[in-house]
Chain A
């Protein structure tokens, strides 16, 4: 690990598990540094009550990424109470 805490490892973002309820279609996207690359995961159909925590797959290799969740249609809403992002390092870094 580098001294500044940034190792530069390339990570594979493989899945995201939500605890989410609401109304509508919940969309989530993984976004790289500076929004250069994005990966749209499958939508989650929301329900007001749900006994399952859906896991949606992803396939996104980046050093760093953030998760962007949203609903886009009128009268849609959501409540997120838990997010688990599954990540695994796949390379020590990009070639110099």
Chain B
């Protein structure tokens, strides 16, 4: 168990208050899936919080990149803080915020140029960061040039590290383009990975991630994907493919290594080749048992054809 804090978050908006584009990155940075925290502004339009550069994820106080989240990273609880939602309102006369249709804050008298009181929305789950769970209601004095400059968003919470069981198995190896790979989870294992909570399976080559095609509809206990054209990978035609799964934030966030599959299998790759000067053949010790005699070619010559 540890703590997580996501420091965004600056939202600067100008223009018609009824339709504001903007940026706040907490949800997608946290989930890594591109989820958006939608804030609906009446009377029309929607306002989505999005990623912005410079957002910091602090894991136990240590700045951490999204790609470096620990394996099995899992959010336990979250609190959305809005300590100064509106810094410099102009022409706004009232402000209210709702979370899941319940009003969590209201201020009928926003002073121009002032700020709201701190708002903490507790008890969030990662899934709350998707969709329009939050809404802001603003009332203006009727001036269409009303603008909003809001900041002070950040998210805190706790996390733990979870381990999940799964099985990456194949009927035959090596794999090649078009091979269908099945990952299964054991229904009887309480720690099984919920495979229908995966948003993506990637081939990992260093920092390069290549998503594979999911075949059919994954279930909680089985997911099937297809090996892509290996010649088009960032590192073409590798001998070994490493895979990772990306969670949607319900069971886990970030990525979990799944294992590796071979694209080439060398016959008796781990065998021992024994040179025997007392024999006309060398000896290959088969890892499956026994030995294989590898004849040494006899010394010989052949001339060209004579005659004609």
Could you tell me which A residues sit within 8 Å of B by CB distance? 5-9, 11, 13, 33, 62-74, 76-78, 80, 83, 85, 87
Residues from chain A with a CB closer than 8 A to the CB of B278 are 74
Q: What class of interface size applies to chain B in its complex with A?
A: 10 to 19
Report B259-308 residues with CB < 8 Å from chain A CB. Answer: 278-280, 298-308
Could you say which residues of chain A place their CB within 8 Å of the CB of B304?
66
- Whether A70 pairs with B300 at a CB distance below 8 angstroms is yes
Contact between A62 and B299, CB atoms less than 8 A apart:
no
Q: List residues of chain B with CB under 8 Å of any chain A CB.
A: 278-280, 298-308
6 closest cross-chain pairs (CB), A and B = A70-B300, A64-B307, A64-B305, A67-B303, A11-B307, A6-B308
Q: Which one of A7, A65, A74 contacts B280 once the chains associate, using CB atoms below 8 Å?
A: A74
- Return the chain B residue nearest A7 by Cβ: B308
Contacts of A33 in B (CB 8 A): 305
Residue from A67, A70, A73, A78 within 8 A of B306 (CB atoms): A67
A55 CB to closest chain B CB, in angstroms? 16
**Are B300 and A69 in contact (CB-based, < 8 A)?**
yes
Given A68-B302, A74-B280, A83-B303, 16 extra CB contacts under 8 A: A62-B307, A63-B308, A64-B306, A64-B307, A64-B308, A66-B303, A66-B305, A67-B303, A67-B306, A68-B301, A69-B300, A69-B301, A70-B301, A72-B298, A77-B299, A87-B306
CB atoms of A68 and B308 under 8 A apart = no
Give chain B residues whose Cβ lies under 8 Å from the Cβ of A9: 307-308
Q: List 11 A-B contacts (CB under 8 A).
A: A6-B308, A7-B308, A9-B307, A66-B302, A66-B306, A67-B303, A71-B300, A74-B279, A83-B303, A85-B303, A87-B307
